[in-house]
Structure 1
């Protein structure tokens, strides 16, 4: 089979590999569509401490089941499926509490197991037991189903901040994840959504998709605090999502959120210097909550796919480029330049 193999920073090579052999507790998927994730772009540019090269990346994908192990139940050859990359153990303290995203033994496709930037990917049968394998209706394109993972990440974030009717929400960062936050927040009833981003190009893409009520370019539109106060009745947004890895954005979120508000640190920060310069007095005297969001649970993944299947989340609107697997390096360069939102790799 053809595979795109990660050997190190900015070094992905197209190779011929054997089709994986499955065991009795595994199944094999012929990949039909895979998306390049922002976290994979970071791996491509900076490496990943948990990935042992060479490794096949790719964790946002969908495809057709072509082989099943003898112990696999509830799945048949020919079915169309999307699989969440996170595989919790299902029995540790956190799994028992419903926080499978915090599982102590969680494994990940494309980190602990070879991923889907290949024509075939082998999947542990445990995904069926846990509910992280979702069957795709015949009328849904594979490329849409492949976006379940980014959608569910935003869904977890919006559930964590309890987005609801009447909320004014500022989203700092207008990449695909920031845009998905806006979509989910709107679906949950948020009354005012503000998207802020450093470059205007991404804001224009969001505006074309009618994702927010207000758009603010951090480079050229003046003072963010004054702007958000103006459009929220003088108070500022009651919830802020920091949907990027900038430490400055975390600081800014605390400075512009309304009294009694909440700031969510959705993304991770640079590993060599993750410490944040947040004003403790602002947090204390304004009675702010600073929270976070990480990963998702099987329940949420099933819901995210349902929202995609029903068209309540327009995943297809985020797809800006489609490339054959052979051109994966071009896809990474498109993302690096900021030209692309979601790049879909095709296999036929």
Structure 2
């Protein structure tokens, strides 16, 4: 079979690999479509501290089951599935309290082990989630990034009464916007790229802020009647944005959910957190959110087709990465078809 392998940072090739064996508790999937995530690009460019090389990347993918292990009962050949890339040990503290997505021995397909950018993948049957017939392969490959939004909503305890600020209108920011709007909450979103903010307007953002040309603090205070945002979702990874949100924009008793993962030190006075009883909440990957998001897709509650802006054949993956790097204002999400 053909597989897309990042041999070392900056070097990618399509190589021949044997079709994986299907163990008794696994299913063998013929990959139909995959998404390119920012983290895939980081691995390609050598900017992901968790990745090792050579590596077949890809943690957003969907396909058709072509073989079923002897112990698998709830899936069969011909089923379409989306794959949860998160695996855990099952016995560390995080796993024992039901938060396996931050397992001490966390393993993610496409980062710590070979992923979905290949023609066939064998995965544990528990990671394969059956798809309804009304979801195309290209759209099904986008289920994983929407599970990030479901996790964020859970971690941030989002309600319809919240006034939300989303920092960053890239793919994840726009996916967050769709998920938040689904609940009826008022939401503002900031970025520095007008084309992304225009997409946010089309997705019914109540306020868009270009922080290069407008003062984000002034805009948010006007938007919230000087109360501040009750829930902030920080998806830029920019420490200056995070510092501003905590010190200047978060409402008393507010929550700040941190998606970005810069390794730079953040400077925040303790009093900024203590005086408002702020909650600073981390979020990572997803914790069993695939069934919930598949239901969103099946019922048309979100619009993944608005996020998927470009599609390439998997043989054109190098061209796709290059296009993504050179056209940040035009690209939201790129899909690969197999």
Tell whether the structures are fold-level matches, with TM greater than 0.5: yes
Cα deviations by residue, 1:55-83 (Å, 9 ceiling, x for unpaired)? 11011000000112223222211111111
Partner of residue 343 from structure 1, selected from 327, 334, 337 = 334
Is 1:199 aligned to 2:199, yes or no?
Answer: no
Q: Distance in 1 between matches of 2:124 and 2:112?
A: 11
Structure 2 Cα separation of the partners of residues 26 and 182 of structure 1: 35
Is residue 274 of structure 2 the alignment partner of residue 279 of structure 1? no
- Measured after TM superposition, the shift of residue 289 of structure 1 is 2.1
Q: Report the secondary structure of 1:313's partner residue.
A: coil
**Which stretches in structure 1 are left out of the alignment for 5+ residues?**
none
Question: What are the residue-to-residue correspondences of 1:250-269 with 2, within 5 Å?
Answer: 250-254=242-246, 255-269=248-262
Partner of residue 334, structure 1:
323
Q: What CA distance in whole angstroms lies between the structure 2 residues aligned with 1:145 and 1:157?
A: 20
Which stretches in structure 2 are left out of the alignment for 5+ residues? none
Q: CA offsets per residue over residues 239-286 of structure 1, 9 Å max, x none? A: 11111211111112112122222222122113xxx3101233322223
| Change beyond 3 A, Cα 1:230–1:323 | same
Q: How many residues align?
A: 335
Q: Which residue of 1 aligns with 2:236?
A: 244
For the aligned residues, what is the CA RMSD? 1.6
Q: Equivalents in 2 of 1:229, 1:285: separation in Å?
A: 18
SS in structure 1 at match of 2:82: strand
8 Å CA contact retained: 2:165, 2:187? yes
Is structure 2 residue 292 aligned with structure 1 residue 297?
Answer: no
User: How many Å apart are 1:200 and its aligned residue?
Assistant: 1.6
Post-superposition Cα deviations, 1:177-229, rounded to whole Å, max 9, x if no partner, equal 11111111122231x2000002222111222333x1000001112x1111111
The match for 2:221 is 229
Q: How far apart are residue 106 of structure 1 and its match?
A: 2.7
CA shift for structure 1 position 133: 1.9
State the distance in 2 between where 1:139 and 1:185 align: 24
Aligned to 1:159: 154
SS at match of 1:29: strand
On the 8 A contact 1:199/1:218 being kept in 2, the answer is: no
CA distance in 2, matches of 1:188, 1:205: 19
SS at structure 2 position matched to 1:55: coil
Aligned runs of 1:58-137 on 2, under 5 Å? 58-125=58-125, 128=126, 132-137=127-132
Q: Check the 8 A contact 2:178/2:203 in 1, yes or no.
A: no
> 2 CA distance for matches of 1:226 and 1:50?
38
CA offsets 1:137-172 (integer angstroms, 9 cap, x no match):
112111222112111111111111111122110111
Conserved 8 A contact 1:60-1:146 = yes
SS at match of 1:77: coil
Out of 283-292 and 228-237, give the one that drifted further. 283-292
CA contact (8 A) 2:19 2:120 kept: yes
Matched position secondary structure for 2:229: coil
- Aligned residue for 1:122, secondary structure, equals strand
- The aligned residue for residue 169 of structure 1 is 164
User: Do the aligned residues in 1 keep the contact of 2:177 with 2:203 (CA within 8 Å)?
Assistant: no
